[in-house]
Structure 1
């Protein structure tokens, strides 16, 4: 009899960036895996740094379905908000297809809403607000679809942990070891409450010392600079356009229209899924 099979899908957060162990990353999903069952757990991490919902749908999902997981985590969406191609209708359609595929196979589905990257980076308000609006849209879609498919959903977009510097790595976008441990422990608590986990909870106590300030500065000056450069090449031109639109609406006193437009886009995206997935009438 095989043990519990857990497959993790997503981007750098699930890959484990911010929680280095040896020459690689560990992360919240690996920490959670050991607590899913008292017996053996077969863990596979398919998450890749930079992945978007399209990558999860087209590349990671087929590989994960072939493994027939008992538990599958799908935590994705931040990278979509950081691209000029952002489209909440496409994000919703992709996530709907991914969630449906795993629940049809009988897997326990884990999802999470995520913090706003603009706030984590400390961007000026005129630049941060458009990104925050996008992340709220993604979170609203994830909330709705998680409820629709009966997912075990973690509310990670808010809470005191966001303001605790010790929870975050040098780049301020990814959790450090302590933050990854908190995510793992919170998922474990949710699973225990549903009687879906039988192993010991992940320890919240860090195994390794936090990076020194000099190590953090070195990361920001090397890998961190490269990360920002890659994102800015794609996002910056559109982000400047979004900021200009933000300023125009603020000058006219119509900033609320941007929020209403974003809310309407989420509603229509979810409504389109409802229409598409409605079973045919029986004569």
Structure 2
């Protein structure tokens, strides 16, 4: 099995530890299905446009029976988000990976919980972006008959426990719920041979506070110089477009 994509597939959020490729939903899926080999090529910050130039060659070299993938979440968080580009780049990557007998599993993204704390206008814009990204992901998956795991449905069923402290990634529990869904989607062709390990207890308040100081605050400072301004610009643009649209309809 080979995993490609972004921090979700890398395993960020599977506990408060640093992801090292042996955690996360893809790793749990591989273990549950008894994969003879598992290679995780996912990397933090990966966008759909990065899959072909940065991960495709190594994925093809591994000659996998199953490919597990996520992409689109980082595109949603950028000022130049373009759902058509997400679909085009994903289609190119999946087309190259498609092979008789090979199964490909993609996970769609849920709304980004971090933005629930923002004003409703921003929350709505980000939710709309997530919806457009998921349409693009499903369209790309359809071109090669890939299996799609509905990430939003998994989170909806799992509830608040599914979120990591950062409210961007799944928690250890959330990763395992995605893995269970992926395993079920791959059956009966691939039958589970080992149980998915239970999620550890949710981190205590002290652990969460330490994580926020050690990881969350530096992330916020770093993103205040790039990501947050881009999001603010994108949200402002979309709100202005919505306003122009309403004015045009009433004129």
Work out whether the TM-score is over 0.5. Answer: yes
The answer (yes or no) to whether the contact 2:161–2:171 under 8 Å persists in 1 is yes
Deviations 1:112-143 (A, max 9, x none): 21112266553222222222222111100111
Show the counterpart of 1:140.
135
2:191 equivalent to 1:198? yes
Counterpart check, 1:221 vs 2:213: yes
User: How does the TM-score come out when normalised to structure 1?
Assistant: 0.77
Match of 1:69 in 2: 64
Q: CA RMSD in A?
A: 2.7
CA gap 1:209/1:102 in 2 versus in 1, 3 angstroms: same
Q: TM-score, normalised by structure 2?
A: 0.86
CA shift in 2, pair 1:160/1:42, >3 Å: closer
> Does residue 226 of structure 2 align to residue 234 of structure 1?
yes
Aligned equivalent of 2:97: 102
- More moved, 139-148 vs 112-121: 112-121
Alpha-carbon shift at residue 237 of structure 1 (Å):
3.0
Out of 134, 146, 150, the residue aligned to residue 155 of structure 1 is: 150
Which of 24, 31, 41 is the matching residue for 2:28?
31
Deviation at 1:189, TM superposition (A): 0.9
User: Matched residue of 2:193: which SS?
Assistant: coil
Partner of 2:162: 167
Alpha carbons of structure 1 residues 202 and 143: separation in structure 2 relative to 1, 3 Å: farther
Looking at structure 1, the residues matched to 129 and 243 of structure 2 have their Cα atoms a distance apart, in angstroms, of 22
Q: Give 1:229 deviation, angstroms.
A: 3.1
Greater strand share, structure number: 1
Residues 55 and 250 of structure 1: CA distance in aligned 2, closer, same or farther (over 3 Å): closer
- Which ranges in structure 1 are unaligned for 5 or more consecutive residues? 1-5, 258-283
Mean Cα deviation higher: 127-136 or 18-27: 18-27
1:80 touches 1:86 (CA, 8 Å); kept in 2?
yes
1:123 correspondence with 2:118: yes
Q: 3-state SS of the aligned residue for 2:32? A: coil
Larger Rg: 1
Report if the CA contact (8 A) 1:7-1:45 is conserved: yes
Counterpart in the other structure of 2:36: 41
Cα deviation, 1:68-108, whole Å, max 9, x if unaligned, reads 11100121110011112322222221101101011146521
For structure 1, which segment, 19-28 or 90-99, has the greater mean C-alpha deviation from structure 2 after superposition?
A: 19-28
Say whether the 8 Å CA contact 1:14–1:75 is kept in structure 2. yes
What is the alpha-carbon distance in structure 2 between the residues aligned to residue 143 and residue 59 of structure 1? Answer: 22
